[in-house]
Amino acid sequence: MKNYIQEKTRYLKALVLTMLVGFIGFEAGAQVFISSTSPAGPWYAGQEATASYEAEDFDAGTSFILWDDADNDAQIDEDEQIFGQSTVQDALEEIDFTWPEAGNINLRLAAFSGNSVTG
């Protein structure tokens, strides 16, 4: 004769385990820039300017860097100028900088975390 109580208990345990894995094992959070504002132009060499951003859910220690991405590859190259950086998130943050003396500027703000790799 089959033990129906034992069989139903197994199903109940499997159901509870599935729910726990669903609630705990697969937690996700999106890393987002809530807002970012670049200074309104026109811009002149040597002029002071402020760029602002608000970001949330990035790893602790993430650096938010504002730089001239001259070759538009979303990477900071040795010949590109960094205007400022911050580690503030979950609040509106402002980065003050001075426009460089010459050339066109491709202003970019991005988040970087982890170990740096040079090659």
- Residue 64 to residue 56: CA distance in whole angstroms: 11
Query: What does the block give as tokens for 94?
Result: 């402002």
Percent of the chain residues topping a pLDDT of 90: 17
- Residue 109 near residue 65 (C-beta atoms within 8 A): yes
Kindly indicate the confidence band of residue 96, based on its pLDDT and cuts at 50, 70 and 90. Answer: very high
Say if pTM beats, i.e. exceeds, 0.85.
no
- Residue 105 near residue 67 (C-beta atoms within 8 A): no
Please report the pLDDT score of residue 119 as a whole number: 43
pLDDT tens string 42-71: 888 888 988 899 988 888 888 999 999 989
